Structure 1
Amino acid sequence: MSYFVHESSYIDENVTIGNGTKVWHFCHVHKGASIGDNCSLGQNVNISNNVKVGNGVKIQNNVSVYEGVELEDYVFCGPSMVFTNDLTPRSKYPKGSEGYKRTLVKYGASIGANATVVCGNTIGSWAMIASGAVVTKDVPSYALMAGVPAKQIGWVCECGYPLKDTYTCKECSREYVLEGKLLKENK
């Protein structure tokens, strides 16, 4: 094995786990899931059936990634944040995987502790969702989102620092340009 799984965790059959990935205490990775290289799954993480997790993803303690959710490379999921996959759940009327709404978290995005991502939405690359926020709609790349429901309160650099009063990061000097309502790196 080129990855680590703590003895208290369960890995179902037909699962792919990449090189250098670490699966810590009390996790469960369900059948058909795919986890990339160099990922970290903290304590009590649940990866449901057929979920795709990219490379370099960090999923902190107490997070469930439900069927219908996809995490691209270098996504960060903070402690106890929540994904959903059904807008109208009923115990008596389960929908099964055909009824789940797709949620996509794009390259490099970060979701803070105790945030909730309502299913059917896309979080853009390098976006940052504040702790406790509730995402109810698509999030643009580089957007800084906070509140309930989450609203855009600014822009954030790829390195993670908010862009204040300028589209040049004061921390790393990356430059951005606003094109319409979308922020893009100025290369």
Structure 2
Amino acid sequence: MPYFKHNSAIVDDGASIGEGTKIWHWTHVSSEAVIGQHCSLGQNVFIGNKVKIGNNVKIQNNVSVYDNVYLEDDVFCGPSVVFTNVYNPRSAISRKNEYRNTIVKQGATLGANCTIICGVTLGLFSFVAAGAVVTKDVKDFALMAGVPAKQIGWMSEYGEQLSIPLTGERTATCPHTQTIYHLKDGHLSKIE
């Protein structure tokens, strides 16, 4: 196998798992799942059938990634992150035909115990604080916190909070990498 699987983990026949990926204790990967290279799936993780996970994704312990959740490259999911895929579930009513897509774009960080309500897109390198509940789309580089989550700042690609207001036209420099970011019309972009 080009990947590592702990002997307590279950990988169903048909699952596609990239080279260098590590699947740890009591984790279950469903048969139609697609997982990229050099990922880490922690203890007690569940990966559904209609799930696509990019390269270098880290999913910490006790996370269930249900159908219609898509994680791009370099996403970090902290311990016990919660994804949903049905907006208004009921026990006696099957709503599999109502699953909503959730897209977590490249480099996003999801803090421990945060909840991502289905049907949203989390932008590039966005950062969701521990315990937050995301109910709406999140902008690239946005720092989100609270219940429901609200934007409280901006983050650099490296993961440092930028000293810049939420609106206006300004530039900011990542204190770690010295990369410059430009804020205009409520959107932050990296200056190449």
Amino acid aligned to 2:59: I
Q: Distance in 2 between matches of 1:91 and 1:5?
A: 33
Structure 2 length normalisation: TM-score? 0.95
Shift of 1:179: 2.3
Q: Distance in 1 between matches of 2:18 and 2:177?
A: 31
For residue 186 of structure 2, the aligned residue among 156, 175, 181 is 181
Give the superposed CA RMSD. Answer: 0.8
Structure 1 length normalisation: TM-score? 0.98
Amino acid aligned to 1:182: H
The alignment-based identity, stated in percent, is 55
Q: 1:78-137 deviations in whole A, cap 9, x for unaligned?
A: 0001000001101111112x2101000000000000000000000000000000000000
Shift of 1:68: 0.7
> Alignment partner of 2:106: what SS?
coil
Q: Distance in 2 between matches of 1:82 and 1:30?
A: 18
Alignment of structure 1 residues 66-81 onto 2, 5 Å: 66-81=66-81
Q: Distance in 1 between matches of 2:17 and 2:156?
A: 30
Superposition misfits of 4+ residues, deviation over 6 angstroms: none
Aligned to 1:47: 47
Moved more, 164-173 or 2-11: 164-173
Q: Distance in 2 between matches of 1:151 and 1:73?
A: 24
Aligned to 1:168: 173
Amino acid aligned to 1:69: V
Q: Distance in 2 between matches of 1:163 and 1:10?
A: 42
Segments of 5+ residues of structure 1 without an aligned counterpart are none
Q: Distance in 2 between matches of 1:66 and 1:17?
A: 17
| Native 8 Å contact 2:50 2:69 kept in 1 | no
Alignment of structure 1 residues 2-151 onto 2, 5 Å: 2-96=2-96, 98-151=97-150
